């Protein structure tokens, strides 16, 4: 047995050297620019290729670990066969590059080993920027508990050469390596009752041997990521795979295995499948026509041709012609500068009740919901003689929110940190909805996304207000997969939230310094834009365009955001209830 001194470990902190390992590749891997796999193929995108190099002879522990990380970052070697050369035989059997990906940044430093050392320890220390789980869903570090990283490697001598006997499972990628190895794409899945499409963002690994388009279609066939699982469907059956994707005479040909025939003919999914495929491939196909083939042959019964223009109505943003509304002096009015904000004909008279926090349903069956001061959510249509009916009962309710299916939602605060989600489709019955992640919190706002699949919530579990996002499982009526989008922070009050488009949420906050109005990507989990907020803004609403952001003040003023000038203009000077767009 070796002496204790012979096994005295070497602690090495890797940093700039390691984080740049694949960009400069000092010990392993050649880097050069190349047009994606197939030359002039319109489905390819340019990328920087990384060729992994085997271990350096007589390499130090630091050089071996650095070379291993560089080789592991090479997407030209999908099975990481070169990276495995840096491992001992046993480590080759146990290390898996297919587990979660950790994206990091670090700092450099090293110690000099003893000449007679037989074992070394190398530590990769730094900051976790985010993680990518097995289904391609990226979670930034702000949404995780703690972001410090300390990954250890153990090395031993094998035939006189240092080799890694123990390595962290999964891939450790610097931010630059991660950007080179993955592309961000939106997948599209079918909403409940095939009402439209729902956006789901993933990171797709580059695989030069098959091309980016084929990789994207293959990932679509895998199904939705965890946050949307159970909330959406796929028109592709479980026994479908993709053989190839290529361009022929300006038509994108997607060749599937025979399982696609069963999905289309037996399950009647042709329209939904066409919508999923055309929307998912749009960034690569530039709206070209798509032909579906089966094992290289024409689809049974005749050519299966998809014209993406035929599926514009599946737009997950839902609103085709956004129109905003507000309450003023007992009347529901449209926001329309050209016609002096006319009232909406047919809505029940408001004067007899004290209503606030109006919400408007979708275009198909226009209805208005509002909170009554004495308690309850009331609804009125626009048919002649429409009257206000109480759909949801309760004294402490959040402002109502419509979904695309004609249900109105609210949360009843039944006591300190005791909340119950409620929904109703008419005045006959309100239905409780299970929401384990909210039932022990105080809920200030609950907003269903326009696609009907996601929800956004202002919630306080006793540690400060935060914004949560989750999804609706309509098979068993449950709010699921809740996760933090905007974390709690001292001195921060979250005033309002509003869905801008299918994957963007506006968040209005009061801070110690001022108001803060920001756009957050729900699919990426990060803040993507900031709007100049002015004093007095209390509410916000938005449509799927930067020019469709409206705000309300405590004095009843309605303001419109001008993205070109980065300033607010006044639409209604006073006396107006907060403006709203349909749904969201």
Band (410; pLDDT cuts 50, 70, 90): very high
pTM of the predicted model, to two decimals? 0.87
Give me the pLDDT at residue 9, please: 34
Q: Which residues pair with 49 in a beta bridge?
A: 32
3-class DSSP state of 253: strand
pLDDT of residue 365: 73
Lowest mean pLDDT among 68-77, 116-125, 469-478: 116-125
pLDDT of residue 336: 82
Q: How does the average pLDDT of the chain come out, rounded? A: 86
Q: What is the pLDDT of residues 472-505, one digit of tens each?
A: 999 999 999 999 999 998 888 999 999 999 999 9
Q: Quote the pLDDT of residue 17.
A: 31
Cα separation values, 172 from 22, 32, 137, 324, 494, Å: 11, 21, 16, 47, 35
Q: Tell me the pLDDT band of 210, cut-offs 50, 70 and 90.
A: confident
Q: Who has greater pLDDT, 114 or 185?
A: 185
- Give the pLDDT score at 59: 93
Q: In what order do the strands lie in the sheet with 493-501?
A: 493-501, 504-510, 515-521, 526-531
- Average pLDDT in the 152-160 region? 93
pLDDT digits 0-9 by tens, 315-370: 999 887 789 999 888 788 889 867 677 777 766 555 556 888 999 998 667 899 99
Q: Which two tokens stand for residue 399?
A: 């402002």
SS3 at position 62: helix
pLDDT at position 231 is: 96
Instruction: Decide if 242 contacts 218 (C-beta within 8 A).
Output: yes
In 10 A of CB 323, how many CB atoms? 15
- Taken in order of first residue, the domains within the chain and their CATH numbers are 5-182 (no CATH), 183-314 (no CATH), 325-572 (2.120.10.30)
Cα distance between residue 584 and residue 319, in whole Å:
10
Residue 136 burial by Cβ neighbours in a 10 Å radius (0-12, 13-18, 19+): buried
User: What would the two tokens of residue 424 be?
Assistant: 């109703």
């Amino acid at each position: 047995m070796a002496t204790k001194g012979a096994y005295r470990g070497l602690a090495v902190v890797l940093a700039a050297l390691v984080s740049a390992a694949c960009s400069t590749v000092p010990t392993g891997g050649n880097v050069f620019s190349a047009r994606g796999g197939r030359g002039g193929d319109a489905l390819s995108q340019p990328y920087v290729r990384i060729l992994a190099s085997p271990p350096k002879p007589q390499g130090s522990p630091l050089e071996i670990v650095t070379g291993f990380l560089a080789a592991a970052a090479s997407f030209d070697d999908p099975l990481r066969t070169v990276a495995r050369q840096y491992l001992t035989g046993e480590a080759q059997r146990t290390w898996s590059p297919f587990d979660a990906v950790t994206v990091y940044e670090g700092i450099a430093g090293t110690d000099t080993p003893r000449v007679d050392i037989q074992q070394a320890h190398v530590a990769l220390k730094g900051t976790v920027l985010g993680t990518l789980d097995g289904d391609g869903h990226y979670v930034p570090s702000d949404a995780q508990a703690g972001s410090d990283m300390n990954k250890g490697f153990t090395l031993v001598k094998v035939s006189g050469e240092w080799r890694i006997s123990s390595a962290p499972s999964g891939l450790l990628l610097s931010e630059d390596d991660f950007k080179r190895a993955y592309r961000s794409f939106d997948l599209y899945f079918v909403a409940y009752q095939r009402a439209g499409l729902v956006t789901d963002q993933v990171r797709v690994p580059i695989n030069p041997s098959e091309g980016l388009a084929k990789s994207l279609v293959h990932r679509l066939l895998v199904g939705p990521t965890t946050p949307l699982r159970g909330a959406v469907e796929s028109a592709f059956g479980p026994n479908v795979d993709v053989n190839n994707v290529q361009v022929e005479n300006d038509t994108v040909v997607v060749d599937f295995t025979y399982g696609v025939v069963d999905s289309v003919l037996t399950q009647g999914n042709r329209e939904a499948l066409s919508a999923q495929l055309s929307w998912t491939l749009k960034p690569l196909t530039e709206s070209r026509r798509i032909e579906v083939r089966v094992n290289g042959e024409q689809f049974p019964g005749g050519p299966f041709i998809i014209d993406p223009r035929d599926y514009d109505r599946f737009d997950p943003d839902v609103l085709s012609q956004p129109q905003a509304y507000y309450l003023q002096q007992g009347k529901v009015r449209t926001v329309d500068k050209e016609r002096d904000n006319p009232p909406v004909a047919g809505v029940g008279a408001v004067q007899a009740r004290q209503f606030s926090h109006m919400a408007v349903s979708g275009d198909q069956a226009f209805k208005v919901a509002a909170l009554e001061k004495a308690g309850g959510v009331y609804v009125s249509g626009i048919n002649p003689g429409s009257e206000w009916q109480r759909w949801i009962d309760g004294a402490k309710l959040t402002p109502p929110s419509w979904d695309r299916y004609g249900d109105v939602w609210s949360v009843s605060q039944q006591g300190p940190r005791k909340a119950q989600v409620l929904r109703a489709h008419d005045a006959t019955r309100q239905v409780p909805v299970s929401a384990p992640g909210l039932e022990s919190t105080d809920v200030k706002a609950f907003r269903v996304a326009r696609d009907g699949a996601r929800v956004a919530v202002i919630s306080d579990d006793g540690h400060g207000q935060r914004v949560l996002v989750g999804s609706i499982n309509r098979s068993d009526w449950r709010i699921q997969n809740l996760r933090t989008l905007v974390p709690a922070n001292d001195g921060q009050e979250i005033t309002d939230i509003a869905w801008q488009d299918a994957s963007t949420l506006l968040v209005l906050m009061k801070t110690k310094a001022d108001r803060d109005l920001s756009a957050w990507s729900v699919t990426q989990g990060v803040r993507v834009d900031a709007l100049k907020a002015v004093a007095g803004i209390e509410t916000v609403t938005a449509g799927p365009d930067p020019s469709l952001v409206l705000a309300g003040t405590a004095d009843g003023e309605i303001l419109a955001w001008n993205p070109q000038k980065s300033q607010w203009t006044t639409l209604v000077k006073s006396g107006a209830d907060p403006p709203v767009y349909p749904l969201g």
